[in-house]
Amino acid sequence: MTTPTMFSDDLKLTPYWWDDVPRPALPPAPMPAKADVVVIGSGYTGLAAALQTARGGRHTVVLDAQDAGFGCSTRNGGQISTSVKPDYAALARRFGREHAFRIVKEGHNSLAWVGAFVKQEGIDCDFRIAGRFHAAHNPARYEALARMLASQPKGLEVAAHMVPREDQSSELGTDAYYGGILYEHHASVHPALLHQGMLDRVLQAGATVIPHCPATGIDRDATGFRVACAGRTIAARNVVIATNGYTGRLMPWLRRRVIPIGSYIIATEPLPLGVMSRLMPRDRIVSDTRKVVYYYRASPDGRRILFGGRVSCNETDPRRSAPPLHAELVRLFPDIRNVRISHSWAGFVAYTFDQMMHAGQRDGLFYAMGYCGSGAGMAGYLGTRIGQQVLGRAEGKTAFDDVPFESRPYYWGNPWFLAPSVAWYRWRDRSGH
Ligand SMILES: Cc1cc2nc3c(=O)[nH]c(=O)nc-3n(C[C@H](O)[C@H](O)[C@H](O)COP(=O)(O)OP(=O)(O)OC[C@H]3O[C@@H](n4cnc5c(N)ncnc54)[C@H](O)[C@@H]3O)c2cc1C
């Protein structure tokens, strides 16, 4: 393929974050024959669980099919919100008011958890309470956001205010939106530095992390489980499955319940500081109300725009996912139409049929996954809770423990229905919904 001029000469097809934090070269660790806990997946979920179990005195082994942190946890946009997608009213219809309250509260807990964790552990990862500008893509959405803000359920209020269109330039240098809402406590982070900080602490706690070691089977025996990996097996009392959007054939029950969807980002070349301060004067994280969402922010050094969206369902070539993102970027900010892309990358997030994250136990195996594209905070939070559950601690209990994890007939892990659904949502976004 010829290189379109929108790409810089040294275009990288790896996450921008990996420039600062390359995938770690871990000390060689032989695979033990036995462990107390085997964690499968070394993203935020797996590492947070492992941190609990290792510090709780359990011999913990973390396996990853690829490099440590190969999945979403070092690829994401670094935008941390309250994560839970269904609103209180929808949750109350399904679960009743008390349980709905607890579920929404878990979203608040997850946001608070990241800030507290980073502080307590002293992890230097550009964590900042940046505030999120959630922009309305049409007037009806602006009104809906204002109604939602005015009717926040008692006890679940979040700090937020409306920004009308006439004041929008104080938040964002574009006329493409119809105002929006500012969530004051949402945060930004350098996702790979956060991951590296977690990895360092897991290793310091005495856990073993083994990359390039895909778990290929789990069997039960009288004392626990046997995890097959690289032609050998590890006997483990407990197993945590933390594979999210990369969940494969290992556990068909989970595979039937998560829907892998591609999420794509580009980074621009550095822009002049004057331009950045006009486009993003308050250095917020940004998203918009379209169903087929776009999310963006400045890089931590304030020089580039990192611009992400669901421009495809399963494209694996980041050269192909970049042009539609670039087109949307310059539609929003026409002044930078000549800006070139320095990085383009993607990862697989995990959606679920009820748009909720799920965590708990199945057949004695612990799991947490299905963050529906919003796991930057929630994954570490639920990983922590699952680690505490493994230790049998009461604080591991969550509002997700008793939530049924649904599948659908004829779904075995290959989301054949995605392309038509995304096309339908994209049409709705364009036609004023
Ligand atoms: C481009 C992109 C942008 C995003 N932006 C945001 C954002 O701004 N805000 C936000 O909240 N969320 C965002 N997300 C989502 C967020 O990153 C994820 O929800 C979160 O990182 C999930 O963490 P995890 O540990 O559960 O999974 P992952 O970090 O994906 O880790 C799963 C790991 O499991 C491993 N694995 C799979 N199968 C096996 C096996 N059989 N054996 C061993 N290992 C296995 C994989 O190799 C992988 O490393 C984004 C995701 C992407 C891809």
Q: pTM, whole model, 2 decimals?
A: 0.96
Instruction: Using alpha carbons, select from 40, 38, 43 the residue that is nearest to residue 70.
Output: 43
Indicate which residue's Cα is closest to atom 50 of ligand 1: 76
pLDDT value for 344: 97
Q: How far is the CA of 345 from the centre of ligand 1 (A)?
A: 13
Q: How far is the CA of 18 from the centre of ligand 1 (A)?
A: 15
pLDDT value for 409: 78
* Residue 265 CA, closest ligand 1 atom number: 1
Do 358 and 367 meet the contact criterion of CB atoms below 8 Å apart? yes
Ligand 1, residues 16, 26, 61, 73: which to mutate, most atoms within 8 A of Cβ?
73
Residues of the chain falling short of pLDDT 70: 1-4, 313, 420-425, 427, 429, 431-433
Ligand 1, residues 61, 243, 258: which to mutate, most atoms within 8 A of Cβ?
243
Ligand 1, residues 190, 316, 349: which to mutate, most atoms within 8 A of Cβ?
349
pLDDT value for 421: 66
Question: Please, which residues have CB within 8 angstroms of residue 146's CB and are 6 or more apart in sequence?
Answer: 162, 181
Instruction: Using alpha carbons, select from 71, 74, 63 the residue that is nearest to residue 29.
Output: 63
135: enclosing H helix or E strand: strand 132-135
Query: Is the shortest distance between the CB of 350 and ligand 1 below 6 Å?
Result: no
Instruction: Using alpha carbons, select from 212, 356, 216, 334 the residue that is nearest to residue 278.
Output: 334
Do 186 and 79 meet the contact criterion of CB atoms below 8 Å apart? yes
pLDDT value for 1: 47
Tell me the C-alpha distance between 305 and 285, whole Å: 11
Q: How far is the CA of 347 from the centre of ligand 1 (A)?
A: 7
Query: Is the shortest distance between the CB of 379 and ligand 1 below 6 Å?
Result: yes
Instruction: Bin 360: left if φ > 0, else alpha if -120 < ψ < 50, else beta.
Output: left
